[in-house]
Amino acid sequence: MNLPAEAEAEAPVLPWQPPARAQALAARAVPQVFVDPRSLALRERIRLVAPSEANVLIIGETGTGKELIARHVHALSARQRAPFVAVNCGAFSEQLVESELFGHEKGAFTGAFSAKAGWFEAANGGTLFLDEIGDLPLAIQVKLLRVLQEREVVRLGARRSIPIDVRVVAATNVRLQQAVAAGQFREDLFYRLNVVHLAVPTLRERPGDILPLARHFIDLYCQRLGYAPVRLEPAAEAKLAGHAWPGNIRELENVIHHALLVHRAGRIAADDLHLALRDEPAPPPADPGPAPMQALEHAVHALLQQPGGARMEAIEEAIVRTAFQFCHHNQVQAARLLGISRNVMRARLIRIGAIDALR
């Protein structure tokens, strides 16, 4: 049922979700509940900018629901009946990303046994959502800029351009201005994408949404699991409201799912909620020892005294592997921690054998 703008503004507690076809296209998308004042302000901004044809840049931490915001922009635009295509720019190797985005002709490279349209062509007439845009290699950024300027794509191995009509919505969990300053992202592409800027607040910045989201996930998983209605005990509500939610909405969904699996008597108690330990302050060490950089210098000095070569590779491997483990095997977080792009992080993880090349 389509509500007028006035009625929509008066019903803030209803979560907006994409239609069934859109949900099938993006299993990662999470519900977005607009209750907190910051969420309501974001929803109003989306309502104002969605009808335009301007490119949109969505900024937000991992797990905040950036893809669902992009789908909301698409649903409120004149392109709502046309395709919405979501692409994770960090999911492809540097060798494949050009073919995936722009397509290729038969024989363009080894294994190209037939011509294939890219994601831009697949989204023609609609919206192309480029998630993790900051992970695109610089060479591909140049070609993407040309596509946005000329409104046409050239498939890999082709000489003829193909006109396209696509609105681009991009998203990232990194500060692109800093990436521009570091030479990792093209400034002209940043301004081409950043016509409309949508900043998605973290869950800790929109506390009014925590409990409505929790109840939404309870209803959702009760239906999936065939459970009778389940309610939150007051102590559980207080525990949810007091958590910092470093994993944002995605973490909340997982916490509620687990709680429903272990709850008793139709109630979720505080003990049923398993929250991230990083929220709890760590006890001070008995012996602080040397500063981290000083300890690292001592370790490197000891390594240099040992026989053998390729010490730089060994040091780099240790740093990359440790960062990957520290971030619980999250490539994006590890790359951000080390100040490198996800593609660079992925290439180094493959080189040291920490992940498979097809992962």
| Per-residue pLDDT reduced to its tens digit, 254-284 | 999 999 999 999 999 999 999 976 544 444 4
Write out pLDDT tens, residues 36-70.
999 999 999 999 999 999 999 999 998 899 999 99
The kind and range of the H/E element at 10 are: none
Which conformational region is residue 87 in: left (phi greater than 0), alpha (psi within -120 to 50 degrees), or beta?
beta
Write out pLDDT tens, residues 76-100.
999 999 999 999 988 887 778 889 9
Q: State mean pLDDT over 244-258.
A: 93
Given a cut of 60, is residue 328 above it in pLDDT?
A: yes
Q: Which two tokens stand for residue 271?
A: 């003990």
Band of pLDDT at residue 6, cut at 50, 70 and 90:
very low
Band of pLDDT at residue 289, cut at 50, 70 and 90:
low
Q: How far apart are CA 342 and CA 193, in angstroms?
A: 20
Do the strands 161-163 and 267-268 form a parallel or antiparallel pair, or are they unpaired?
Answer: unpaired
Residues 55/188, Cβ–Cβ less than 8 Å: no
pLDDT of residue 285: 47
Q: State mean pLDDT over 158-172.
A: 94
Given a cut of 80, is residue 340 above it in pLDDT?
A: yes
- Indicate the domain borders of the chain: 5-201, 207-279, 292-351
Write out pLDDT tens, residues 194-235.
999 999 999 999 999 999 999 999 999 999 999 999 999 999
Given a cut of 50, is residue 13 above it in pLDDT?
A: no
pLDDT of residue 2: 42
Given a cut of 50, is residue 30 above it in pLDDT?
A: no
Query: pLDDT above 90 covers what percent of the chain?
Result: 54
Given a cut of 90, is residue 164 above it in pLDDT?
A: yes
Class of domain 5-201: alpha beta
Closest CA to 192 of 122, 123, 118, 136: 136
**What is the DSSP annotation of 180-212?**
HHTTSS-HHHHHHHTTEEEEPPPGGG-GGGHHH
Given a cut of 70, is residue 5 above it in pLDDT?
A: no
Residues 16/34, Cβ–Cβ less than 8 Å: yes
Please state, rounded to an integer, the average pLDDT across all residues of the chain: 83
Alpha-helical (H) ranges within the chain are: 5-9, 20-25, 37-49, 66-75, 97-102, 119-122, 138-150, 176-181, 187-193, 210-225, 234-242, 248-262, 292-304, 311-326, 331-338, 342-351
Topology, domain 207-279: Helicase, Ruva Protein; domain 3 (1.10.8)
pLDDT of residue 32: 63
pLDDT of residue 118: 92
Band of pLDDT at residue 286, cut at 50, 70 and 90:
very low
Give bridge partners of residue 169 from the DSSP assignment.
56, 129
Measure Cα distances from 69 to 154, 213, 283 in Å: 29, 16, 39
Given a cut of 60, is residue 17 above it in pLDDT?
A: no
pTM over 0.85: no
Residues 252/274, Cβ–Cβ less than 8 Å: no
Q: Which numeric CATH code is attached to 292-351? A: 1.10.10.60
pLDDT of residue 358: 53
